[in-house]
Amino acid sequence: MSDASRKHEIRCPIHGFINFNDWEKAVIDSPEFQRLRRIRQLAFTEFIYPGATHTRFEHSLGVMHVATRMYEALTQRYGDDFIKTFSYDKGGFDRDCQLLRFAALLHDVGHGPLSHASEDLMPFKAPGQRYKHEQYSAAIVRSKLRATIDQHPLSENSNLKADEIADFLEGKSTSKRRVFWRELLDGQMDADRADYLLRDSHHAGVAYGHYDLDRIIATLAVVPDEGNGLRVGVRKGGWHAAESLVIARYMMFTQVYFHQTRVAFNFLLRNILKAILPGGLFPSPEGAGLDQYLQWDDWSVLGAVAGGCAGEAGRQLRERDHPRNVYQTNEVTTQDDIKKLDAIQSALGERVVAVESAGKSWYKIGTSDIPVAMPDGVQPLSDLSSIVKNMRETNQQLVFVRSQDANEARAIVERMK
């Protein structure tokens, strides 16, 4: 084996050993990717689940590993179908696998400090439209990582370039092959959520995110699709495993990601960032703004908090003196719930410091429905699973007050029931 193609490995608590080549190692060793070691996967969730201190670095490696397992399972079973539908040549499979691996590895390289909780402080790309971390990821690939990707010896064999990886991340490619494989990175059964559910569950010390990944991979299927020719689905024997992934995601959101105290700490984080960011927003991912953006990570934010530069929200974080939840609506909020919420807010008056919305669509029925290959044709997962079919979008509202007002506020809410 040549030096350029030798393999490396790193141990992962979820997947065992994760392997990567010299080209991928060069990207992993870059300052931009190493920055992910300094960005927590779940923001301040450690204040509720103390073990949840893992980072975007290990998650990104895990997504690359899972995406590769999915890719290899599908190409081994359906290689002839891909050759026929997507006109693969001899080297096409290896090239697309490398493209998918890089995209999976780099999909989160543009995250801000403390991950998703900081996205509300990203600047506006257009009126009413903020930049997302995916656009920062693509900008980093096109600029900061261009030389590392384009000039590596292994790039000469595949002619794979940074621009193609960035386009894949942003979903810009209209190639049927690219649209098909992007489902493994951005779909209802993708490698991203396949990894984060297991990883977050493990580090938080909960069982909510458990599901059978091996069974899903063993039953992955390719099904006909009118628009793109082919789609990713599961065979009949795997639909319960797919169902369990959807349920695991619902459970993790309700019990961990939207935990009332975590929502309160996300509120504190936004106030901390408003206090320490110039102009109260991150720089844009353009020109010198990207260099400035990359200076921000958890260390810089927490350093400002420790140094007393983050105002009252920084003090509250240091002392775990977070706002308290005193009332919340049902997961699916009705008009009657809204009327009651308004009355409670009016009664609490200036005690209220925030009303946070925990909204989420757990499963998208329709064209995004996971297709299941049955003996008599293809059926959407929601037709087979009554649980999935009845998963409604939530729009829960949570009312928070200052900690010193919590007892009085709860007494007022109790009298209004």
Backbone dihedral angles phi then psi of residue 350, each to the nearest 5 degrees: -70, -5
Backbone dihedral angles phi then psi of residue 397, each to the nearest 5 degrees: -115, 135
Question: Is the pLDDT assigned to residue 4 strictly greater than 60?
Answer: no
Give the pLDDT confidence of 327-351 residue by residue, as tens digits: 999 999 999 999 999 999 999 999 9
Give the pLDDT confidence of 143-160 residue by residue, as tens digits: 999 999 999 999 988 889
Quote the pLDDT of residue 92. 92
Quote the pLDDT of residue 226. 83
The pLDDT-based confidence of 89 (bands split at 50, 70, 90) is confident
The pLDDT-based confidence of 1 (bands split at 50, 70, 90) is very low
8-state DSSP, 120: G
Quote the pLDDT of residue 174. 81
Quote the pLDDT of residue 80. 93
Question: Is the pLDDT assigned to residue 46 strictly greater than 60?
Answer: yes
Backbone dihedral angles phi then psi of residue 222, each to the nearest 5 degrees: -110, 130
Quote the pLDDT of residue 232. 96
Distance separating alpha carbons of residues 221 and 52, to the nearest angstrom:
34
Distance separating alpha carbons of residues 291 and 266, to the nearest angstrom:
25
Quote the pLDDT of residue 2. 40
The pLDDT-based confidence of 5 (bands split at 50, 70, 90) is low
Mean pLDDT of 17-43: 98
Distance separating alpha carbons of residues 342 and 331, to the nearest angstrom:
17
Quote the pLDDT of residue 412. 97
Mean pLDDT of 120-131: 94
Question: Is the pLDDT assigned to residue 180 strictly greater than 70?
Answer: yes
The pLDDT-based confidence of 229 (bands split at 50, 70, 90) is confident
pTM: 0.96
Give the pLDDT confidence of 96-107 residue by residue, as tens digits: 999 999 999 999
Distance separating alpha carbons of residues 114 and 63, to the nearest angstrom:
19
Give the pLDDT confidence of 298-316 residue by residue, as tens digits: 999 999 999 999 999 999 9
8-state DSSP, 170: H
Kindly report which listed range (41-45, 46-50, 174-178, 184-188) carries the lowest average pLDDT score: 174-178
In this structure, which amino acid lies at residue 242?
Answer: A
- Classified as helix, coil or strand, 42 is coil
* Residue that wins the pLDDT comparison between 277 and 5: 277
- Domains assigned to the chain: 3-258 (1.10.3210.10), 323-417 (3.30.70.1370)
